[in-house]
Structure formats: C-alpha cells, structure tokens
Amino acid sequence: MTRTPNRIHAYAFAIGGAVAAIGAVAGTGFAHSTIETDVVGCEVLANAAGGGFALEAVYHAEASQQGSYQFSVQSVGGSSRTNINQGGGFSALAGETVTLGRVTVGGAAAYDVTLKIDAGGKSVECGGRINARA
C-alpha cells in the first residue's frame, strides 16, 4: 500500500505591495494546512520511517527563480538532542517542484521543523511540530 505523505506547508502572498508569510504549526500529530496563492510556496513532507520520520523540504516555483533556503529540525523531548540545519542556494524553472533538503530523524517525542525560502525578492516560511505519538 502506498502511503501519502503528511504535509506542512505555506504560501506567501502580496497585500498592498507588502509580502506576508503564513505558516502552519501543529500542536499534535502531523499538520496539513494550505493557503493557496500564486506567488511562491514551501512545504515540508513528513513520512514515518522506522521509528522516526523522513522529512523533505520542498519548493514550488511559480516562475523561474534563483534563491536560498534554510531548513531546520530540532528535537523536542526525549533523551537525545537533535539540531540539524541545512541551507544553500537553488535554481528552479517555472512550475517546477524542487527538493531542497532531506533528513531522517528518530528517538525524540517531537520535532520542530522550519523551512525558510528567499526567492524572487520575497520570503516565505513554513513548518510545524511533528509528534512521534500522533
């Protein structure tokens, strides 16, 4: 059986010339929230993997762009501490979905995940809390 990944994502949108970022944060379990626009989008995919999670940072390009990203994963609870930070530059063609980073984590009660993308003169941030006991 194929399992659909749980998603944490957000989209940025322009309001009166300003850009506002909307993020989805879950108190328990996986988050699934969408605010649809056509400017720029980010998403974190979370799949169960063994005793933990496989997390994937994804960018949905509406136009051909270059940009940078920061992907952060921090454990919450549990005996071990996880603090993972990935980042760098990327290029994407119009309509392309680009995987920016991947990590597999396990052992903690929960993880706080943040993906920040700067592209085309705009910033967007998405993420949330992934709980092991969802």
The mean-pLDDT minimum among 10-14, 42-46, 61-65, 71-75 falls in 10-14
pLDDT on residue 5: 52
- Asked if residue 33 is part of any domain, the answer here is yes
Residues 6+ apart with CB under 8 A from 62: 38, 39, 40, 41, 94, 95
- Asked if residue 75 is part of any domain, the answer here is yes
The pLDDT tens digits for 54-110 are: 999 999 998 999 999 999 999 987 777 889 999 999 999 999 999 999 999 887 888
pLDDT on residue 49: 81
CB-CB neighbours of 29 under 10 Å: 14
pLDDT on residue 133: 64
- Asked if residue 103 is part of any domain, the answer here is yes
Alpha helices by DSSP H, 12-71: none
- Asked if residue 70 is part of any domain, the answer here is yes
The domain spanning residue 71 has which CATH number? 2.60.40.2420
**In angstroms, rounded to a whole number, what is the distance separating the alpha carbons of residues 21 and 19?**
7
Q: Regarding predicted confidence, which is higher, 114 or 39? A: 114
- CA–CA–CA angle 69, 58, 104 (5° rounding): 95
Identify the domain containing residue 117 by its residue range: 6-131
Tell me the pLDDT of the chain averaged across its residues.
74
Q: Regarding predicted confidence, which is higher, 21 or 40? A: 40
Domain total for the chain? 1
Confidence of residue 6 (pLDDT cuts 50, 70, 90): low
- CA–CA–CA angle 108, 109, 115 (5° rounding): 75
- Asked if residue 1 is part of any domain, the answer here is no
